[in-house]
Amino acid sequence: MRTETVENYLKTIYNLSADNTAVVANQQLADKLAINPASVTEALRKLHELKYVIYEKSYGTRLTTAGVKMALNIVRRHRIWETYLVKELGFGWDEVHVIAEELEHVKNDKLINKLAEILGNPVFDPHGDPIPDAKGKIQKSNFIKLSEAKIKNNYKVMGVTDHSTAFLKYLDKHHLIIGAGIIVKTIEEFDNSIILVCQKKEVNISPKAAECIIVQALN
Amino acid sequence: MRTETVENYLKTIYNLSADNTAVVANQQLADKLAINPASVTEALRKLHELKYVIYEKSYGTRLTTAGVKMALNIVRRHRIWETYLVKELGFGWDEVHVIAEELEHVKNDKLINKLAEILGNPVFDPHGDPIPDAKGKIQKSNFIKLSEAKIKNNYKVMGVTDHSTAFLKYLDKHHLIIGAGIIVKTIEEFDNSIILVCQKKEVNISPKAAECIIVQALN
DNA sequence: ATTAATTTTTAGGCATACCAAAAATAATAA
DNA sequence: TTATTATTTTTGGTATGCCTAAAAATTAAT
Ligand SMILES: [Mn+2]
Ligand SMILES: [Mn+2]
Ligand SMILES: [Mn+2]
Ligand SMILES: [Mn+2]
């Protein structure tokens, strides 16, 4: 298998498995990678032979230790590049994901570690995702999705789970950037949309968007 | 054809054709790309269909206008990355070529132009090769190969045509870095090796090495 | 002009990474 | 529990980009 193909599969399995806690379905992979389910089945069989995953027919897939190691490496490269593009090269958080999708495949540890060093070994990327260190160790957190937030509580925006330009530009427009403080005002009974206050302005967030915003409770 | 394949062929054709002044033979491409001649024939036929080259059977290949444009673009990316790696990230001139071979395929004009801007839009890369500007314009020069140098004349090292780590480390050892002043002392009749003075020390250069060092005559 | 050496092309194959359609399984709803 | 729906796997194909071996063409040497 081409290493780029292997890397894309392992990274995606890792991301879909919530840090390897859940089993991943073929369908999820097919959707995320925009690939035919039949092709996914084939690929998983090969990855199983290569000992990167444990793939059980009609049940699901999880990463082996070797698979996790490789996945964390790719995730590190992706997130370091995203951070470098934003912090050192002046790109917006809404435009770096696609570029990092290419840069992440450039395999040179010295390069990535050099970038990390220049950045001061950051622990979170521009979307609030944790960056594994050179050994693969990752920061744990107790963040929740905005969709799980409670009325009248205070929160701080810590990240996003959708990296599309459209979504990030939408957040920018409402000042919902990382670090922003928010208060949940009401949750509409009708459609579960959330009305919150950010920078003294009221914003109406759809349930779909609320699923993609990561926040931390402020005591 | 995969864009990475197209890019590697066009870049190599460009480099072998001495800025598109000469026709390139299949054999040369096969050697440079470490690919079987039969595969080169196939690839050239496809590149001809795609209108990137004019390929005449059993005669040779040259780039079309579209081919030159694309080649210059890749060459620019390669050389900008090499320069960035040396100047901004502290890599040695002997280790950047392999990394740039990967980075050159990341296609994002804004990124390359940003790097170029940070570097002050450099005109030569760490090996003395000219960097095309964003429009593809390239600096002309009157440099010659050290193998063509005349006895007792003064020269300045301006570049190298071999980017291998082994060769560049060998040059470093003898202080034959870019910008170094040299005097050609004698040329051995027996084997055409060149004895020159650099930093007050005598160095014996083999004819093969002299072919790979680019110099400028000092009046 | 022949012969020899080299280069290029053809022909036949192989592995990778996809796809579409049909068959088999599993999950959900009635 | 059966029927319906959704997911997964199988089967049969396609396009790419390589390869080896042998034939053909070109170039160089005698
Ligand atoms: Mn990303
Ligand atoms: Mn990210
Ligand atoms: Mn180079
Ligand atoms: Mn160079």
Instruction: Quote the pLDDT of residue A219.
Output: 79
Tell me whether A107 touches chain B (CB under 8 Å): yes
Residues A106, B99: C-beta atoms closer than 8 Å: yes
pLDDT at B145 over 90: yes
Q: Which of B99, B105, B107 sits opposite A108 (nearest CB)?
A: B99
CATH number of A188's domain: 2.30.30.90
pLDDT at B191 over 90: no
Tell me the percentage of chain A whose pLDDT exceeds 70: 100
Residue type, A128: G
Domain boundary among A47, A63, A79: A63
Tell me the percentage of chain B whose pLDDT exceeds 70: 100
Q: How far is the CA of B144 from the centre of ligand 3 (A)?
A: 19
The answer to whether A42 CB is within 7 Å of strand C is yes
Phi and psi at B213, nearest 5°, equal: -110, 130
Domain boundary among B30, B63, B96: B63
Please tell me the number of the ligand nearest to residue A214's CA.
Answer: 2
Domain boundary among B11, B38, B63: B63
Token output for A135: 């050994």
Tell whether A162 is covered by a domain: yes
Residues B106, A99: C-beta atoms closer than 8 Å: yes
Tell whether A91 is covered by a domain: no
Contact residues on chain A for B86, CB-CB shorter than 8 A: none
Instruction: Quote the pLDDT of residue A190.
Output: 85
Per-residue confidence band for A10, with pLDDT thresholds at 50, 70 and 90:
very high
Token output for B65: 């206008």
Task: Tell me the H-state helices in chain B.
Answer: 3-16, 26-33, 37-49, 65-87, 96-103, 109-118, 165-173, 207-210
Q: Which of A90, A108, A118 sits opposite B114 (nearest CB)?
A: A90
Once rounded to an integer, what is the mean pLDDT over residues A33-54? 98
- Restricting to A residues 81-100, those with a Cβ less than 8 Å away from any Cβ of B are 85, 89-91, 99
Q: What is the pLDDT of residues A153-192, one digit of tens each?
A: 999 999 999 999 999 999 999 999 999 999 999 999 888 8
Tell whether A37 is covered by a domain: yes
Owning domain of residue A45: 3-63
**Interior CA angle at B72 toward B70 and B74, to 5°?**
75
Instruction: Quote the pLDDT of residue A189.
Output: 87
Tell whether A58 is covered by a domain: yes
Per-residue confidence band for B190, with pLDDT thresholds at 50, 70 and 90:
confident
Tell whether B112 is covered by a domain: no
- Helix %, strand %, coil % for chain B, to 5? 40, 20, 40
Q: What is the pLDDT of residues A71-106, one digit of tens each?
A: 999 999 999 999 999 999 999 999 999 999 999 999
Tell whether B50 is covered by a domain: yes
Q: What is the pLDDT of residues B72-87, one digit of tens each?
A: 999 999 999 999 999 9
For chain A, the average pLDDT equals 96
Q: Which of B90, B103, B118 sits opposite A106 (nearest CB)?
A: B103
For chain B, the average pLDDT equals 96
Instruction: Quote the pLDDT of residue B132.
Output: 98
Tell me the percentage of chain A whose pLDDT exceeds 90: 96
Helices (H) and strands (E) in chain B — how many of each? Answer: 8, 8
Report d(CA B118, CA B77) in Å as an integer: 14
Largest Cα span, chain B: 56
Tell whether B91 is covered by a domain: no
Strand A194-198 and strand B181-187: pairing? Answer: unpaired
Tell whether B54 is covered by a domain: yes
Contact residues on chain B for A110, CB-CB shorter than 8 A: 91
pLDDT at B217 over 90: yes
CATH number of B33's domain: 1.10.10.10
Q: What is the pLDDT of residues B83-129, one digit of tens each?
A: 999 999 999 999 999 999 999 999 999 999 999 999 999 999 999 99
Instruction: Quote the pLDDT of residue B121.
Output: 98
Q: Please classify residue A108 by burial: count the beta carbons closer than 10 Å to its beta carbon, then call 0-12 exposed, 13-18 middle and 19+ buried.
A: middle
Q: How many domains does chain A have?
A: 2
Q: What is the pLDDT of residues B3-29, one digit of tens each?
A: 999 999 999 999 999 989 999 999 999
